[in-house]
Amino acid sequence: MLKSVRRLAVLSSHVQNVNRNMCSSGATATSARAPIIFVHPKFCLVDEKITIRLTGLASNQIVTFVADVRENGSMFESRCVYRADDSGVVDNCTSESLDGTFKGVEQMGLFWSLKSVGARAAMRLVKKDVTRPMEFTIRVFDGNQAEAPEVLSDPLTKTVVRRTFMAPHVKRLPLRDGRFRGTVFLPEGTGPFPALIDMFGGLVSQVETRAALLASHGYATLSLAYLYSEGLPQMLMDVDIDYIQEAFEWFSRLEYIDATRLGAVGLCFGGFLALTLTSILPQIKAVVNINGISITPGEHFGKIDSLGKEWPKKEGVEITEEGLDLTPAYECKNPRAVPAWQHGAKILVVVGEDDKQVHPKWHTFFQDNIPAQFKDNLQVIRYPDTGHLIEPPHMPFIRAIEPGRKHEKVMCGGHMVAHSHAQEDAWRRILDFLNMHLGTGSGS
């Protein structure tokens, strides 16, 4: 019995010593703790927001976040500076950026403020291989290093975020044979799916990002090339509307397509083509025009498939310090609105009011000239201080671009914060519009 009591006394004394040692060294242990960064979700679609939370900092400590991603051989980077709260925490949903490529409380600012690093400042971040996610490295450094040419110190912590245009079960089917050039994206499931044709502008003709993302939201989508590929025209004014019509009709007849739920989406010249196709085909129920040309010169009206060789006018392009302003090229004395309404389709027009490629006044003209019986079919959304390239949300803003096949820098317009917020709002409204008029579903 006495031996047991002695053992308990020795054990109690040992526990007390350990507790005293832990208490006396507690402040040191806390201050030496490495910061920890939490990101949720770490893998998601590009139109999803993420939460970034950094803990383990000293009270009110200043830190610099650096995000970077490499695509197509180019590096894009953003930076922002945060001050930790009294508990040593930074949260991108509530903390204010004090300096860097954006300021203020902007949850996704690290992504839409990315800028090209290197000689080509007008490089646009375009994901060419949509089957692979973009990998963003996020590093955290001590102090304000927003203006440092290179961050010299080792990061306090870092993580990798993967963001994708193409959900894991979406199928990508390139069109390699036959007359048509492009890519079909199919949602998860067997269908039949609501279907869209998606077209970009005349500088690039085909970009797969938006089509992959639309498929990730339940739409079978044909990303169609109409220029520059083998067997296709090399000049904008040589675009063949018959080719586009035939491609869409072929696509709509595929067994996994619901031919009663068809739509078209286009940006810039792709928007004009989407409107034109809708004016021809009564089976198109909904069309989205994003900063696209909505008029033709009156002398060519009635021949909607031919704009003529004199329009747009090359001599109308204005040279500015920031790049070419293309808006004067579409001036014409007797404009006519593209009659996309004539078969009863629902029309959504997304307008950047600072567009330097297609003047916003033509969207007003389009809206004013729609016949009274079809006015309820039209919805126009206008965004102040927003430029031409309204892309899916959280993609980097760029005010002027340097097209790969041309040497001249071309203006897009817009101002970063307003444009970035517009991209987020417009994408939500586009999805709502398509869902209302075409419906969604991943098939059965």
Task: Please identify which residue in the block is written with the tokens 């444009």.
Answer: 419
Catalytic residues: 268, 355, 388
* Cα separation, 45 vs 127, whole angstroms: 13
Compute CA distances 280 → 235, 244, 341, 343, 393, whole Å: 23, 11, 10, 8, 31
* Sign (positive or negative) of CA dihedral 416, 418, 419, 420: positive
Burial class (CB in 10 A: 0-12, 13-18, 19+), 334: exposed
Q: What is the 3-state secondary structure (H, E, C) of the chain?
A: CHHHHHHHHHHHHHHHHHHHHHHHCHHHHHHHCCCEEEEECCEEECCCCCEEEEECCCCCCEEEEEEEEEECCEEEEEEEEEECCCCCCEECCCCCECEECCCECCCCHHHHCCEEECCCCCCCCCCCCCCCCEEEEEEEEECCCCCCCCCCCCCCEEEEEEEECCCCCCEEEEECCCCCEEEEEECCCCCCEEEEEEECCCCCCCCCHHHHHHHHCCCEEEEEECCCCCCCCCCHHHCCHHHHHHHHHHHHCCCCEEEEEEEEEEECHHHHHHHHHHHHCCCEEEEEEECCCCEEEHHHCCCCCCCCCCCCCHHHCEECCCCEECHHHHCCCCEEECCCCCCCCEEEEEEECCCCCCCCHHHHHHHHCCCHHHHHHEEEEEECCCCCCCCCCCCCCCCEECCCCCCCCEECCCCHHHHHHHHHHHHHHHHHHHHHHCCCCCCC
